[in-house]
Amino acid sequence: MTKLERVYTVPLGDAYEIARNKRTPRAVKILRAFITRHMKAKEERITISGALNTYLWARSIQKPPRRVKVRLVKEGETIKAYLADEKVEIKKEEKTEKKEKA
């Protein structure tokens, strides 16, 4: 299975054009739309990591970040979004699969 990995800086400033108490949910929608457009996938197949979600919500619902640097990993049809500097832990199941292939 081919693995495609890209790093993008996503502008989220458009979230500030709506009501204060709806900004961070709108920022998440903007992020998902950006990922859909640039990675050519359906929105249902996108998974946002916990660290990225925490980063978006860190300053509450009223003040999301203006931009966020993300690392997108596409495996087959699924896309996983991480912070650019976030380290991804490999599960034990994946480690055993790699050993069996070798």
Give the per-residue pLDDT at 43.
80
**Residues of the domain holding 23:** 3-101
Specify the CATH number for the domain of residue 58. 3.10.440.10
How many distinct structural domains can be found in the chain?
1
Tell me the CA distances in angstroms from 84 to 8, 25, 53, 81, one per residue in order: 8, 21, 13, 9
Q: What is the pTM of this model?
A: 0.82
Task: Provide block-wise average pLDDT over 10 residues at a time, the chain (102 residues).
Answer: 88 96 96 94 90 96 96 92 84 65 63
